[in-house]
Structure 1
Amino acid sequence: MTTTDSIRPVAGGWTRRDVEQDDSWIHPLTEAQIGALEDALRHALGTGKGMFEMSVEDFPLDAAVRDTLVGIVDETQGGFGFKLLRGFPVDRWSRDELRTLFWGIGLVLGVPRPQGKASQFMSDVRDAGGTYRSATGRGYNTRSGLDFHADGSDMVGLFCVRTARSGGSSLISSSIAAHNEMVRLQPDLAAQLYAPMIFSRQGEQAPEEAPYYSAPIFGVRDGHFACRHIRNHIKGAQQTFADIPRLTPQQIEALDLFDELLARDDLCYHMWLQPGDIQLVNNHIVLHSRTEYEDYDEPDRKRHLFRLWLSLPQGQPLPHGWQDAYKDVETRCVRGGFRGMGITPEIRAFEARIARAHGMQLRIYPEKEAA
């Protein structure tokens, strides 16, 4: 276990005031960029291909716009760790067409990852009657307020199509800043989060996976700090599995302090996503959350976002203790996701094709199942 004496602050991090005083994290889309995205979308729709039949070439972006998008993702690997593309005209296109647009952007940036038991590669973030505080609870299909957490990929992208009647604010917090404040206040508790804890897979494990896994919340590898915090899954494991170690009072105190710091007014930033916004977040250095919301009664007006999880060619090396969670922790490798039960040969071939396009290795599945 990491000792208190070895715990140190790490470089980087930001406060709410930093974000409020510097709007460089917002990228307003120009008319030329919107036009290029719409041209690529028209081409993709014209191919008639399904999601897993597509290649990067099926979403042919103007080179300058493509370079801009890749550069935006490059910026999320440090600094604030998040960016917002603002202003895509969602009212010009149907929901299915917007889904194809977001998928095409994802293919340009990295390799999409599966997100649940059904092996869905794009989730609809909307209230489907789910229960967040349960042994199988996930947050995206509820209207609940959420804990601060990281999603299971290098990057999470949210494309806002409709907002709620009230609430549903996007909350983000620098895990680096919260870590450093924790080290300043109580280094003995910070040390607890460098040791492994048990996370539930929330009933969404693949056939070859155990229903839970072990991973530390904090880690540093090759000078890169990383944080993977999903309190709801830690609670789920404690509630569901009698054969795992019980959290100690000091571990609970450490988790409570970290959650408190992430939500502290001077560290947490409230971001109101507008229709047409695309939020891109580096899961390894930024944690995100959401406030509870009240929706409209009319189905067409209800809050609706699309969510993508991406493995990135420029992603940082990850702590070795995350191997069971991510399946690969090296750079330029496809990693992350919740594999689920629905991976098909077509999906495996798709992943291999997109990985090759980005110069990334794909070695996360057993050899007998390789595409």
Structure 2
Amino acid sequence: MNSPIPHAWTRDDLHKDDSWKHPLSPEAVDGIEAALAHARRTGRTMLQMQPSDFPLTPPALAAVRAAVAKTQTDYGLCVLKGLPVRQWSDQDAEVVVWGIGLHTGVARTQGRESNILSHVRDELGDGAYRVRGGRGYNTNAELDFHCDFCDLVGLLCINAAKSGGSSFVVSSMAVYDEIGRRRPDLQAVLSQPFHYSYQGAQAPGDGEWFTCPIFGMRDGRFASRHNRKNVDAAHRDFSDRIGHLSALQVEALDLYEEVVRDPRLCFSMDLEPGDFQLLNNHVTIHSRTAFEDWPEPERRRHLIRFWLSLPQGQAMPEGWLEGYKSVEPGTVRGGLRGSHVTPEFLEYEQRQAAVCGMKVPACLQPVAA
């Protein structure tokens, strides 16, 4: 199926049509391996690297760019398959993820520590997920359905769990349509602004929360953002300033949670080592099941996550501006700025934006000394 923009889909659609899978050819794998070897020889840190420091051969570059482009069409997702992660150290895998990003977009920081990449593995146990400021990616808990704070999220699987840890992906557009069929009044509620807690990951000077609708439209393009955990946290932690959710808002959010788990809509995939899952956060929502890990440290479930702002990213509704800092196409946006952004990252951000032909909004520009 070929569609120039993403469309609604069901679980059966993805079972019947596996065009969202993108196996790497041997030539493309060889090109990525050669780029990694070159990057190692430069001795540069990831933030110092430029695309020429990770020089992809034509077959490798075409495969990578085609996979990212796929997320902006059809189903809004793609899985690159066949990266030889078993041959790489963790540092090598980081460089490959980062190198792919250098050829496709501008990386966004993740969380209060302003990480440029995150290692998704159980370090805290399931009890650390639902506490104030808790983040799910370092636990083994089942995660709520959510969208990450970027145009594109990539997850490279290094090791799978002993059991569990399945990835769920749902079309946000299908959720919107189903809610509209059942309760158009609640669809309208979800198209109004909701408060989201930053969970302590805001930039210095930003507030502790932002507002954004769950559903929106601009120029005929659909967009969605949802994270129930952070909505509930905002009204739990800051109720003295923003009040409580209304009964109608709670009813709308509860219906969303019911619909997103509808077996007709919810697609499950088990990522294998070497799979690189790419998701368009504006048209898909994702989760994962709880998991049991291997006892051996070297076998424990492990993925590397990166967030990208894309030069071909769609225009966003105006209601997204407060959190994303820009809603215009071709601009750097999204991410959780955190409180540890370095001058080196700011230099990278400006340089990489220029490489991608993107603008950096004034609010993210370095402040002159």
**In which range does the TM-score fall when normalised by the shorter chain?**
over 0.9
C-alpha displacement of 1:65 = 2.4
C-alpha displacement of 1:137 = 1.4
For the residues of structure 1 that align with 2:174 and 2:364, how far apart are their CA atoms?
Answer: 38
Confirm or deny: 8 A CA contact 2:31 2:59 kept in the other structure: no
Confirm or deny: 8 A CA contact 1:335 1:364 kept in the other structure: no
Confirm or deny: 8 A CA contact 1:122 1:308 kept in the other structure: yes
Confirm or deny: 8 A CA contact 1:134 1:236 kept in the other structure: no
Partner of 1:118: 113
C-alpha change, 1:331 and 1:39, in structure 2 (3 Å) is: same
For the residues of structure 2 that align with 1:124 and 1:228, how far apart are their CA atoms?
Answer: 23
Partner of 2:192: 195
Confirm or deny: 8 A CA contact 1:295 1:303 kept in the other structure: yes
Structural mapping, 1:129-144, within 5 Å: 129=124, 131-144=128-141
Say if 2:98 is the partner of 1:103: yes
For the residues of structure 2 that align with 1:192 and 1:124, how far apart are their CA atoms?
Answer: 36
Partner of 1:283: 281
C-alpha displacement of 1:11 = 8.1
C-alpha change, 1:195 and 1:33, in structure 2 (3 Å) is: same
Partner of 2:173: 176
How many residue pairs end up in the alignment? 362
Partner of 2:326: 328
C-alpha displacement of 1:261 = 0.8
Structural mapping, 1:36-55, within 5 Å: 36-55=31-50
Partner of 1:86: 81
Partner of 1:308: 306
Structural mapping, 1:1-371, within 5 Å: 12-129=7-124, 131-242=128-239, 243-365=241-363, 367=365, 369=367
For the residues of structure 1 that align with 2:77 and 2:235, how far apart are their CA atoms?
Answer: 32
C-alpha displacement of 1:245 = 2.4
Cα deviation, 1:282-331, whole Å, max 9, x if unaligned, reads 00000000000011121111100000000000000011111111001100
For the residues of structure 2 that align with 1:257 and 1:183, how far apart are their CA atoms?
Answer: 11
For the residues of structure 2 that align with 1:370 and 1:86, how far apart are their CA atoms?
Answer: 44
What amino acid maps onto 2:263 in structure 1? Answer: D
C-alpha change, 1:297 and 1:198, in structure 2 (3 Å) is: same
Confirm or deny: 8 A CA contact 1:155 1:280 kept in the other structure: yes
For the residues of structure 1 that align with 2:278 and 2:86, how far apart are their CA atoms?
Answer: 21
For the residues of structure 2 that align with 1:166 and 1:100, how far apart are their CA atoms?
Answer: 28
Q: Secondary structure at the match of 1:140?
A: helix
Cα deviation, 1:138-164, whole Å, max 9, x if unaligned, reads 111111111111000000000000011
What amino acid maps onto 1:93 in structure 2? Answer: W
C-alpha change, 1:209 and 1:241, in structure 2 (3 Å) is: same
What amino acid maps onto 2:193 in structure 1? Answer: P
Confirm or deny: 8 A CA contact 2:6 2:283 kept in the other structure: no
Confirm or deny: 8 A CA contact 1:149 1:229 kept in the other structure: yes
CA RMSD of aligned residues (A): 1.4
Q: Secondary structure at the match of 1:258?
A: helix
Confirm or deny: 8 A CA contact 2:27 2:59 kept in the other structure: no
For the residues of structure 2 that align with 1:272 and 1:240, how far apart are their CA atoms?
Answer: 35
What amino acid maps onto 1:287 in structure 2? Answer: I
C-alpha change, 1:41 and 1:370, in structure 2 (3 Å) is: farther
For the residues of structure 2 that align with 1:154 and 1:29, how far apart are their CA atoms?
Answer: 23
What amino acid maps onto 2:89 in structure 1? Answer: S
Q: Which runs of 5+ in 1 are unaligned?
A: 1-9
What amino acid maps onto 1:98 in structure 2? Answer: A
Cα deviation, 1:69-112, whole Å, max 9, x if unaligned, reads 21222221121100001111111111111111111011111100
Cα deviation, 1:195-214, whole Å, max 9, x if unaligned, reads 11110000122111111111
Confirm or deny: 8 A CA contact 2:6 2:73 kept in the other structure: no
C-alpha change, 1:35 and 1:43, in structure 2 (3 Å) is: same
Confirm or deny: 8 A CA contact 1:215 1:321 kept in the other structure: yes
TM-score, normalisation: structure 1: 0.95
For the residues of structure 1 that align with 2:83 and 2:141, how far apart are their CA atoms?
Answer: 27
What amino acid maps onto 1:63 in structure 2? Answer: P
TM-score, normalisation: structure 2: 0.96
